[in-house]
Amino acid sequence: MTRKLVGPFLCLLSLPSMAGNAETEILFLLESIGQSPCVFIRNGKIHDAPEAESHLRMKYGKAKFWIDSSEKFIDRIASKSSWSGKPYFIDCPDADPEPAANWLSQKLATHRKEI
């Protein structure tokens, strides 16, 4: 009987570490946005990097309960406007504007390779 209880209990113990890893990655992505030399295009308006970081932190704060992975953060919070449904774009020096989802996914993949 004890063996049957240990497995599920160990799985529960691993949940906080998964959530903590996602939180760490999301914070990394937010800081990457804020420290970038890029501008962010949201609903047709240009915002500097600190404004974009602030906006996404606000959105994340409101939806944090439903975001349990970095991929969900990118898909549900950082890729498009929740009001208009229009995608966000990132325009960096010496590069063409690209969807924010692409930029963030690339940052996340690079970050994961470095750790």
76: CB partners within 8 A, 6+ apart: 63, 66, 67
Given a cut of 50, is residue 97 above it in pLDDT? Answer: yes
In terms of pTM, does the model score above 0.85? Answer: no
Q: Answer whether residue 10 shows pLDDT above 80.
A: no
Q: Which long-range contacts (CB under 8 A, 24 or more apart) does 90-99 make?
A: 90/36, 90/38, 90/39, 90/40, 90/41, 91/38, 91/39, 91/40, 91/41, 91/46, 92/36, 92/37, 92/38, 93/37, 93/38, 97/41
Residue range 40-69: mean pLDDT, rounded: 97
Confidence of residue 19 (pLDDT cuts 50, 70, 90): low
Q: Above 70 in pLDDT, residue 51?
A: yes
Confidence of residue 11 (pLDDT cuts 50, 70, 90): very low
The C-alpha atoms of residue 82 and residue 102 are separated, in whole angstroms, by 18
More confidently predicted of 10 and 44: 44
The four Cα atoms 97, 62, 110, 39 give a dihedral, to 10 degrees, of 30
